[in-house]
């Protein structure tokens, strides 16, 4: 490289740096100081024990958390318990958050940070309101995008704005709040390794029960009885049933409905070690609801009790496509040998 070309590149780099700084500076609306350090909600830490209700709203949707004795429950989901760790993380984050960097005051730039009006259709922002037992609002904030490494390497920040304040800020806390069930609950209901499943019995009303057993001396599962002149449609057709039954996630939850639906199907899964999981599955239109009962022996007894505490008295919505994979009939798995 010649000295002349090197000088030219140096000028271009300098111009680019100046332009980048100008764009960055205009985007954050610098005040007289680059760092505030003010606590977002002074005194909130002392009031956290008084918080009785949390409202999170976005685009016309609202999720309400209510404190019941020593736990938080989801009002819109039949008072199903929320994750205590998730709720406490939000309360702790809001009570300790400091406003470390002023950002824009321009409404047309709010959406870039996720701090636009949460009531707008399609808004990505969330309005979080903390209330005491009398319904008085103790603190409220518009919570926006999380900025990874925004405070330092490995330390995330969150863009925030007070509802009546035009100034947006970067706060030194990782604030996470949403209006979906998955934002507050671990939606994995049951999971086991398919290779640990010893037997599965699938009972569909009006059909002969299917008995699925682990294949001796080799991986996989098969039907306990395959009639003469019949064969499995393909090698993994039975394993697909076991895999689908081994991992249950839910998208909604409600209290168990009475009376019990006699048209419900039953799946009993016997797992190595003495654990038995029983699913009762009923379909209501396009929605499938599953109830879970788990029993255990020996070392698995405590595992079964923990699952019982969470699942007893509840029904869980699972994907209809997964129900179709689990509730197979004999004709779904077998075909004539001549085929």
Q: Which two tokens stand for residue 42?
A: 């002074």
**What pLDDT does 258 receive?**
75
CA-based nearest residue to 58, from 139, 116, 138, 145:
116
- HEC string of the chain equals CCHHHHHHHHHHHHHHHHHHHHHHHHHHCCCCCCCCCEECCCCHHHHHHHEEEEEEEECCEEEEEEEECCEEEEHHHCCEECCHHHHHHHHHHHHHCEEEEECCCCHHHHHHHCCCCCCCCCCCCEEEEEEECCCCEEEEEEEEEEEEEEEECCEEEEEEECCCCCCEEEECCCCCCCCCHHHCCCCEEEECCHHHEEEEEEECCCCCCEEEEECCCCCCEEECCCCCCEEECCCCHHHHHHHHHHEEECCEEEECCCCCCCCCEEEEEEECCCEEEEEEEEEECCEEEEEEEEECCHHHHHHHHHHHHHHCCEEEEECHHHHHHHCCCHHHHEEECCC
Residue in the structure block whose two tokens are 């394993």: 239
Are the C-beta atoms of 158 and 170 separated by less than 8 Å? Answer: yes
- Quick: pLDDT tens for 98-153: 999 999 999 999 999 999 999 999 999 999 999 999 999 999 999 999 998 767 67
Closest residue by Cα to residue 162 from 187, 144, 184: 144
Positions of the chain with pLDDT under 50:
1-35
- Burial of residue 49, with CB atoms counted within 10 A of its CB: 0-12 exposed, 13-18 middle, 19 or more buried: exposed
Pairing state between β 265-271 and 314-318: unpaired
Q: Please name the residue that has the structure tokens 């004539």.
A: 336
Q: Give pLDDT, residue 261.
A: 67
Whole-angstrom distance, CA of residue 78 vs CA of residue 61: 17
pLDDT (0 to 100) of residue 36: 54
Q: 313: alpha, beta or left, given left = phi > 0 and alpha = psi -120 to 50?
A: left
What pLDDT does 339 receive? Answer: 72
Q: Among 56, 85, 61, which residue's Cα sits nearest to residue 72?
A: 85
Confidence at residue 260, expressed as pLDDT on a 0 to 100 scale: 65
pTM for the full predicted model: 0.83
User: Which has the closest alpha carbon to 183: 251, 129, 95, 118?
Assistant: 251
Beta bridge partners of 258: none
Tokens found for residue 51: 């918080």
């Amino acid at each position: 490289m010649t000295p002349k070309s090197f000088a030219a590149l140096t000028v271009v780099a300098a111009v680019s740096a100046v332009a980048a700084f100008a764009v960055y500076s205009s985007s954050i609306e610098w005040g007289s100081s680059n760092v505030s350090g003010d606590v977002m909600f002074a005194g909130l830490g002392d009031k956290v024990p008084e918080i009785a209700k949390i409202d999170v709203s976005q685009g016309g949707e609202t999720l309400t958390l209510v404190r019941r004795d020593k736990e938080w429950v989801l009002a819109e989901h039949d008072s199903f318990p929320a994750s205590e760790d998730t709720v406490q993380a939000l309360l702790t984050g809001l009570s300790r958050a400091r406003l470390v960097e002023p950002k824009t005051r321009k409404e047309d730039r709010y959406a870039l940070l996720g701090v636009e009006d949460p009531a707008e259709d399609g808004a990505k922002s969330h309005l979080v309101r903390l209330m005491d037992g009398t319904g008085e609002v103790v603190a409220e904030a518009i919570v926006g995008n999380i900025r990874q490494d925004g405070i330092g390497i490995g330390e995330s920040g969150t863009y925030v704005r007070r509802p009546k304040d035009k100034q947006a800020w970067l706060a030194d806390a990782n604030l996470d709040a949403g209006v979906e069930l998955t934002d507050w609950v671990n939606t994995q209901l049951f999971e086991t390794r398919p290779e640990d499943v010893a037997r599965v019995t699938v009972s569909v009303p009006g059909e002969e029960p299917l008995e699925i057993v682990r294949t001796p001396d080799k991986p996989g599962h098969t039907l306990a009885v395959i009639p003469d002149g019949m064969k499995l449609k393909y090698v993994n057709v039975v394993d697909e049933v076991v895999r689908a039954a081994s991992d249950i996630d839910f998208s909604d939850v409600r209290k168990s409905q009475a009376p019990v639906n006699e048209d419900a199907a039953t799946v009993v899964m016997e797992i190595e070690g003495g654990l038995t999981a029983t699913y009762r599955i009923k379909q209501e239109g396009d929605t499938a609801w599953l109830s879970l009962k788990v029993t255990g022996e020996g070392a698995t007894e405590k595992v079964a009790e923990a699952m019982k505490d969470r699942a007893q008295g509840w029904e869980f919505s699972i994907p209809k496509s997964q129900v179709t994979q689990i509730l197979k009939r004999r004709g779904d798995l077998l075909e004539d040998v001549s085929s």
